[in-house]
Amino acid sequence: MEYGAATRGALLAAAPLSGARRSWLPLSSPPSPPSIQIQNRLYSISSLPLKARGVRRCEASLASDYTKASEVADLDWENLGFGIVQTDYMYITKCGQDGNFSEGEMIPFGPIALNPSSGVLNYGQGLFEGLKAYRTTDDSILLFRPEENALRMRTGAERMCMPAPSVEQFVDAVKQTVLANKRWVPPTGKGSLYIRPLLMGSGAVLGLAPAPEYTFIIFVSPVGNYFKEGLAPINLIVEDKFHRATPGGTGSVKTIGNYASVLMAQKIAKEKGYSDVLYLDAVHKKYLEEVSSCNIFVVKGNVISTPAVKGTILPGITRKSIIDVALSKGFQVEERLVSVDELLEADEVFCTGTAVVVSPVGSITYQGKRVEYAGNKGVGVVSQQLYTSLTSLQMGQAEDWLVWTVQLS
């Protein structure tokens, strides 16, 4: 049964379940009001109970822990953009100095309180991930390679001197969060549920040092296309003054600071009418690195080239998946240094990422010279082929012969 989102915050109460897990359950079922905004509450991370620690069991389905809201939320799915929509629940757990995360719990989606001296606010000690859930034609929910996000977070956490949830706990937490917000998964073909796991140093620290406490949160939002163009070609400008990452830095991990550093160049580019920015390496200033939040691929004949992951480039999960799909279709894929000159002579160029999936590039502008691909009017043949193949797998429209999807009941 579906409950009105605007009054849900006032109707939710803490109700202990069996064992150590607690969930938040509605007390009654009033008629749904027209608004979809939920009432915000402020939750202090330090006030959340630190439960018994240790290895926890992975539970594949927790649908019975929540009110079963089978109906899809009342949204304008046809005009869904890429932005935050307040959903029902978020997952939260924390970790003390022993390095073990407590058993997590679901709480109503809303603001949290942080100590002004927390490690994430003062020293940027934070990581995030991004993955998606899709609704299939038979109304089941599919996740795409969540274990890869778990592994990448653990790698990033090691670089940032942070503890991280185990792969098992990460995947289980994602499943819980999606099931608790199932009604916000868009109808088939209307978008996806974007899942944002966030790991941060929430403990108070004044001197430069790792935080004494960490918090892991997962929230979700239904989304449409990342770029307003959708699968239509985007227009990029090559940036040769600002740099996204430097050798020896944190460019290969999904730390929050990597993204703040691209905002200025991105803002300038968008003011000039470009969709986004493509960055060059910081040493030679001639080799391709990434777009602000996507990996880049260059097509020439039957060869698809992409910058090698060697410390300054994020190892994208969509990037990795596209490489495997391309190889299966007979393309030659090269991971290596790719110069900007090769970019300007390419047959096709496209970007990949969780948010964009595959985004064809219609034009590149570099030092005042503009090069167009596919006449800047349509999607390149290779881009279209790879996009169709990958999204068909993600949405359960093709046989998952790579065993990449995880089905939720």
Measured CA to CA in angstroms, residue 112 lies from 41, 95, 109, 115, 380 at distances of 8, 16, 9, 10, 44
Q: Cα(first)–Cα(last) distance of the chain, in Å?
A: 16
φ, ψ dihedrals at 168, nearest 5°: -60, -50
Q: Give me the average pLDDT of each 10-residue run along the chain (409 residues).
A: 38 33 34 35 46 35 46 89 95 94 96 97 98 95 98 98 98 98 95 97 97 98 81 91 94 95 95 96 96 96 97 97 97 98 95 94 95 77 95 95 92
pLDDT at 230: 64
pLDDT at 49: 41
Q: 87-222 has which fold?
A: D-amino Acid Aminotransferase; Chain A, domain 1 (3.30.470)
Instruction: Please give the structure tokens belonging to residue 140.
Output: 């089941």
Q: Is the separation of the CB atoms in 243 and 231 below 8 Å?
A: no
Instruction: Please give the structure tokens belonging to residue 280.
Output: 């060059």
- Counting beta carbons within 10 angstroms of the beta carbon of residue 78, is it exposed (0 to 12), middle (13 to 18) or buried (19 or more)? exposed
pLDDT at 408: 94
pLDDT at 229: 64
- Taking the C-alpha atoms of residue 405 and residue 409, their distance in angstroms, rounded to an integer, is 13
- Taking the C-alpha atoms of residue 323 and residue 332, their distance in angstroms, rounded to an integer, is 9
Q: Is the separation of the CB atoms in 235 and 365 below 8 Å?
A: yes
SS3 388: helix
From 51, 68, 254, 377, active-site residue: 254
φ, ψ dihedrals at 169, nearest 5°: -70, -40
Instruction: Please give the structure tokens belonging to residue 178.
Output: 């999606």
Q: Is the separation of the CB atoms in 237 and 272 below 8 Å?
A: yes
From its phi and psi, is residue 51 left (phi > 0), alpha (psi between -120 and 50) or beta? Answer: beta
Q: Which amino acid is at 315?
A: P
Q: Identify the CA nearest to 254 among candidates 336, 335, 157.
A: 157
pTM of the model: 0.84
Question: Facing residues of 359 across strands?
Answer: 351
pLDDT at 252: 95
pLDDT at 70: 55
> What would be the CATH architecture of the domain defined by 232-398?
Alpha-Beta Barrel (3.20)
Domain layout of the chain by residue ranges: 87-222, 232-398
Q: Is 175 a catalytic residue?
A: no
Residue 118 DSSP one-character state: B
Q: What is the CA radius of gyration of the chain?
A: 22
Q: Is the separation of the CB atoms in 247 and 289 below 8 Å?
A: no
